[in-house]
């Protein structure tokens, strides 16, 4: 029998990201796990309106989304518990810029996406930023046949229910293939 839990978001875990933006002319990073895929080239970030980084995204209309690996758990958590209003979190990283010039990215993150702001969806407590990916940068060490290999990236996962970071498990099956087994069976 299933238990009713109320309006619990059960979509966790999600990849943990470090979102970069220029705020008052300086690079700033914030930890964000409320992310989404909108289309192949558009992503979303759900960020509380109180966050310092929001102003930089709104001002410059750009941001980055960097994927920290498990080895950056301390720095990633720090960027989530400290505010850029009082702390220069960029000093933790080697910062680089791409085509947009106002979307700071982190060299230590093996994958970074440089994004242009498309629109903002205004919720009472959160801004949902929709961005178009302009360029993706990936270390050769995480590529297999010019594709990002998550087993090499070892992304840091976030679970709101347990309030813990998690690692990725192993491969289970090939997408758009394993289900073909049911085509030959008659229900």
Q: In terms of C-beta density within 10 A (0-12 exposed, 13-18 middle, 19 or more buried), how is residue 187 classed? A: exposed
pLDDT at position 104: 98
**Token digits of residue 76:** 């990633």
Q: What is the pLDDT of residue 118?
A: 98
CB 117 within 8 A of CB 56: no
Q: Which 8-state DSSP code applies to residue 181?
A: H
Predicted pLDDT of residue 18: 98
Rounded Cα–Cα distance for residues 51 and 79 (Å)? 12
pLDDT of residue 184: 72
- What is the per-residue pLDDT for 148? 97
Q: What does DSSP assign to residue 40?
A: S
pLDDT score of 187: 58
CA–chain centroid gap for 99, Å, is 19
In the sheet that 164-166 helps form, which strands lie side by side, from edge to edge? Answer: 14-15, 157-159, 164-166
Tens place of pLDDT per residue across the chain (187 aa): 999 999 999 999 999 999 999 999 999 999 999 999 999 999 999 999 999 999 999 999 999 999 999 999 999 999 999 999 999 999 999 999 999 999 999 999 999 999 999 999 999 999 999 999 999 999 999 999 999 999 999 999 999 999 999 999 989 999 999 999 998 765 5
- Residue count of the chain: 187
Note the pTM of the prediction, 2 decimals: 0.94
pLDDT of residue 183: 83
Q: Which long-range contacts (CB under 8 A, 24 or more apart) does 79-88 make?
A: 79/18, 79/29, 79/30, 79/31, 80/30, 80/31, 83/51, 83/52, 84/23, 84/28, 84/29, 84/30, 84/52, 84/53, 85/52, 88/26
Query: In whole angstroms, what is the distance from residue 42 CA to residue 134 CA?
Result: 9
The first and second tokens of residue 132, run together, are: 């178009």
């Amino acid at each position: 029998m299933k238990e009713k839990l109320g309006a619990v978001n059960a979509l966790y875990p999600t990849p943990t990201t470090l979102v970069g933006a220029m705020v008052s002319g300086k690079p700033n990073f914030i930890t964000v796990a409320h992310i989404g895929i909108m289309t192949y080239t558009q992503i979303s970030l759900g960020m509380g309106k109180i966050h310092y980084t929001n102003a930089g995204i709104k001002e410059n209309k750009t941001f980055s989304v960097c994927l920290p690996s498990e080895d950056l758990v301390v720095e990633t958590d720090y960027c989530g518990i400290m505010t850029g209003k009082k702390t220069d979190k960029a000093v933790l990283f080697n910062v680089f810029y791409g085509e947009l010039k106002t979307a700071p990215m982190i060299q230590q993150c093996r994958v970074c996406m440089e994004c242009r702001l498309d629109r903002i969806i205004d919720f009472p407590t959160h801004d949902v930023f929709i961005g178009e990916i302009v360029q993706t940068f990936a270390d050769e060490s995480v590529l297999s046949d010019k594709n990002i290999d998550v087993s090499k990236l070892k992304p840091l996962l976030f679970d709101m229910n347990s309030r813990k970071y998690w690692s990725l498990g192993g491969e289970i099956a090939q997408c758009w293939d394993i289900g073909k087994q049911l085509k030959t069976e008659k229900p």
